[in-house]
Amino acid sequence: MMVRSGSSVLRLGTLIVAALSLLLSSSGTGWPQSAPPTLGLQEQGPQAAPPPSTPAPSSPASGEENPGLIHEMGKLFDKLPSILPPIKSPSETLDDLSRLAKPSAMISGRAVCPVSANGAPDCKPAADQLCQSKGYKEGRSLNTDSAEKCSAKVLIPGRQRKPDDCRTDTVVTSALCQN
């Protein structure tokens, strides 16, 4: 069985655990419980009475089936293909990725990200600008670089630095461009 991603594995594991807990809780009879091991230690004082033994499960009547845990899990795995979406083969997955990647290209360059109203850099317009300069329609930022730019005033000896003397510019250095 091939699994698509980590979230699919998590869903499959959750499904199996839920089914097992449902099977064990609804069966009415569980595995017999035994006394905890003594590990070679002896208790001091009066001996406790041994726990009452659990009665053996009754044998099924003729014609009835008394499935065990393994049988029930087998039935669950038989139902999995109808529960989970179909899983693609590696070649189908590569074909899909190739189809998506054909009209796109990775472009390198430099485009400054404008600062949004909340003060954070917005690099989508910069990625679009970088891609449009190479003949593509739009782009998505893959890599950015940040640098602090200061005015020449900070170089004056003895002058106190003010908050607006420097700013941080963020630049898109590579983008994934598409038509």
- Residues 129-177 pLDDT 10s: 999 999 999 999 999 999 999 999 999 999 998 988 999 999 999 999 9
Q: Which pTM was predicted?
A: 0.42
DSSP code, position 100: H
26-50 burial: b if 16+ Cβ within 10 Å, else e:
eeeeeeeeeeeeeeeeeeeeeeeee
DSSP code, position 154: G
Range of the domain at 4: 1-22+68-102
Q: Would you say residue 48 lies in a domain?
A: no
Q: Are residues 84 and 126 in the same domain?
A: no
Q: Which residues, 6 or more positions from 115, have their beta carbon under 8 angstroms from its beta carbon?
A: 121, 122
Q: Counting Cβ atoms within 10 Å, is residue 9 exposed (0-12), middle (13-18) or buried (19+)?
A: exposed
Q: Are residues 124 and 164 in the same domain?
A: yes
Q: Quick one: residue 110, left, alpha or beta (phi over 0 = left, psi -120 to 50 = alpha)?
A: beta
Helices (H), the chain: 6-26, 69-83, 90-101, 124-132
For residues 7 and 90, give the distance between their C-alpha atoms in angstroms, rounded to a whole number: 18
Q: Are residues 139 and 155 in the same domain?
A: yes
Domain boundary among 46, 77, 102: 102
DSSP code, position 16: H
Q: Would you say residue 61 lies in a domain?
A: no
pLDDT of residue 103: 78
Among positive and negative, which fits the CA dihedral 8, 74, 68, 25? positive
Q: Are residues 95 and 131 in the same domain?
A: no
Q: Are residues 112 and 72 in the same domain?
A: no
Share of the chain above pLDDT 90, in %: 36
Q: What is the pLDDT of residues 18-71, one digit of tens each?
A: 666 665 555 455 555 555 555 555 555 555 555 556 555 555 555 556 678 888
Q: Would you say residue 88 lies in a domain?
A: yes
Domain boundary among 102, 128, 146: 102
Q: Are residues 85 and 165 in the same domain?
A: no
